[in-house]
Chains A and B, each alone.
Chain A
Amino acid sequence: MKTDLTLFSRGADAADRPDANRRLLLFGLVSAYTASLVPWAMAQEATDADHGAFLAVSAILVGRQSLDAAHAGRLYAALSADDPEFPAAAKALLELIESRRIDPMQLQQILDDEQSPLKLVPWRIVTAWYMGIVGDGAKARCLAFETALNAEAVSDVLRPPTYAYGAYGSWTRKPT
């Protein structure tokens, strides 16, 4: 656990950690293009280059201002368990984006048009982060619900279903 990146772990501060200097900063692993896409993610730490590539491509694809490091580790492990080629594919996807300076909004279209072997990779990564779900069909499993990014993205206004909005009648107010 301690070797995982922790900068964006809730409540943790990597700078205070004694082993911080043994880690790789994402900044050192990616191109200037990636750094310009997700500058806020550059201080993320990774245990190795593959993991770093997953983090960088995750940051590009989900576009959120913070990613939970422990959760990143779980998603990476689950995606890799489903497909041993996943780490390499994530790295290849990052290289593709960097080398061709692809806008995230154009990415899927390009992969589809080119019949790229990587065309399912962004979908997998974004589904894992945004829905908390890894895998397809009967193999699908839930790794997050309350902390899936689609819940966090609206958490100022909505609670995930099954969570009480509030005391009776609190929902009559105009949402702000």
Chain B
Amino acid sequence: MNRVPFGHLAAALLLSIVPAVASPAFGADDDQIARGKYLATASDCVACHTAPGGAAMAGGLPLATPVGPIIATNITPSKENGIGNYTLEQFDAALRRGVRADGKHLYPAMPYTAYAQLSDEDVAALYAYFMNEVTPVETSPAKTELPFPFNIRLSMAAWNLLFLDKGPFVPDPSQDDEWNRGAYLVRGAAHCGTCHTPRNLFMAENTSSEMAGGDVGPWHAPNITSDANSGIGGWSVEELVAYMRDGHTAKSQAAGPMAEAIDHSLRFLTDADLKAMAVYLKTVAAVRDKADSQPVFAWGSPSDELASIRGVGLPEDPEAMTGPQLYDAYCATCHQAQGQGSFMGGLPSLVHNTALGRENTNNLVMVILDGLRRQPEVLMPGFARELSDTQIATLGSYLVQHFGNPAAQVTQSQVAALRNGGSATSDLVTLARTALAVGVVAAIVLLGLIILALRRRKTKSITV
């Protein structure tokens, strides 16, 4: 039993050193390039492979981990600095198997476990796009140099053996084309599960709980299974499409990493593709969180405690401000006195809003701290500078009591922790991926230790 992984490991090792076969001269037509561009958008390559203010796809964005940054690489077709020398097969290996042209393994901050689902045609289209239409950039970002043992990229091979699904996507003949298209996009290019599917001990997606929700840095990627209470079972297909396209519906407004995924990727997809994704998501096996005794978008009712604050001065000590006073001073202006939102919903209602209906209140705290930004608009300013941890805890409790699930809680220590984890960088996708990278690094260490232990045992068995 102990030997099985070693056999696989050896095989994987071998595989990675087999030199790639040179691809034939590549003739791409405009349609294929356009298809590749669309897929690159759907895959949100730009989110990680572009540094803030830097050239598109030229890499350089550091994904900070406690042991050092993982730096996104230049994936422009520069022959010197990018992937200009990659053959289609090499490109494919990186995309779907996490193996670079030099045979080294990628860290799964690169979501190749999802991209493994891509069809051969779509990989070829992406290749055509990258080689023909992305502008080569002749800069080379710093190399990722994690200290030992994290630099043993080989351990990823073992991880891959355990957790890398064999792709590509195989359509389910019992479902229609729309469903299959949606499943292909959700599981593949759009890699929704990267954030929304919980992870196991080894930080691999727990496929038995697909889309049941996961933590990405300080943010919580919520349950988007078909469950009527915890997930999106109570959403219409039209609402899901509107959310992915516009970033907001009456039920929910995208914030944090989801806002960035919409800004960079989802809003550019065709309505037909978004509809297909919605159709598929509505069939993902329902998973219910215990606290959700009713739909997370159905809590609360318009209410206020104005009678307790009108004619009453603010306390000398701002930390002593009451929930109604904090709401009055910082929130009511836009969300209105009873949380009902503005005329015709331009400024959202807090009542019947998923932001306040979940037991996990991290996203609520994060939005109060960092606000809600969508390109190019600041839809809600953050209050990290103006409000203390105590004030946010008081305010958050007022919000969930009045407009959300009263079983939910916001605590001062939670706010303090999220503030530290939440405002170090402004790039939210980075944060999300960082969490993943950290987890993977931890998993690698764990795997490394297991391998080491096994090797010792083996060594022992030989010498003894």
Residues in A lying within 8 Å of B, measured CB to CB: 11, 70-71, 74, 132, 141-147, 159, 162-167, 170
Contacts and interface: CB of A to CB of B under 8 A. Distances in A.
B311 A141 contact: yes
Nearest to B336: A163
Nearest to B332: A163
B307 A164 contact: no
A70 B308 CA distance: 12
What 9 A-B pairs come out closest when comparing CB atoms? A167-B346, A166-B346, A166-B342, A146-B337, A141-B311, A142-B311, A164-B334, A166-B343, A170-B346
Interface size class of B (residues with CB under 8 A): 10 to 19
Interface in B323-358: 332-334, 336-337, 342-344, 346-347
Nearest to A135: B311
Given A132-B310, A142-B311, A162 B346 contact: no
Contact of A71 (B307, B311, B336, B343): B307
A143 to B, nearest CB: 5
A170 B306 contact: no
Given A70-B307, A159-B343, A170-B344, 12 more contacts: A71-B307, A74-B307, A143-B311, A145-B306, A146-B306, A146-B337, A163-B337, A164-B333, A164-B347, A165-B343, A166-B346, A167-B346
25 contacts: A11-B301, A70-B307, A71-B307, A74-B307, A132-B310, A141-B311, A142-B311, A143-B310, A144-B306, A145-B310, A146-B304, A146-B306, A146-B337, A147-B306, A147-B337, A159-B343, A162-B333, A163-B333, A163-B337, A164-B333, A164-B334, A165-B342, A165-B343, A167-B342, A170-B344
A166 B344 contact: yes
B306 to A, nearest CB: 6
Contacts of A166: 342-344, 346-347
Most buried by B among A70, A145, A167, A170: A167
B342 A164 contact: yes
Contacts of A165: 342-343
B314 to A, nearest CB: 13
Contacts of B301: 11
A144 B333 contact: no
B336 A159 contact: yes
B373 to A, nearest CB: 15
Contacts of B337: 146-147, 163
B70 to A, nearest CB: 39
A153 to B, nearest CB: 16
A127 B347 CA distance: 32
B209 to A, nearest CB: 37
A163 B328 CA distance: 10
Contacts of A167: 342, 346-347
A165 B306 CA distance: 19
B343 A170 contact: yes
Nearest to B337: A146
Contacts of A146: 304, 306, 337
Give the residue among A162, A165, A166 with the most B Cβ atoms within 10 A. Answer: A166
Nearest to A146: B337
A125 to B, nearest CB: 17
A128 to B, nearest CB: 12
Contacts of B310: 132, 142-145
A58 B343 CA distance: 30
A159 B343 CA distance: 9
A133 B332 CA distance: 21
B228 to A, nearest CB: 26
Contacts of B336: 159, 163-164
A11 B343 CA distance: 21
A11 B344 CA distance: 23
Interface in B300-319: 301, 304, 306-307, 310-311
Interface centre among B310, B337, B343, B347 (most CB of A within 10 A): B343
B18 to A, nearest CB: 57
Nearest to A140: B311
A145 B342 CA distance: 17
B429 to A, nearest CB: 26
Contacts of A170: 342-344, 346
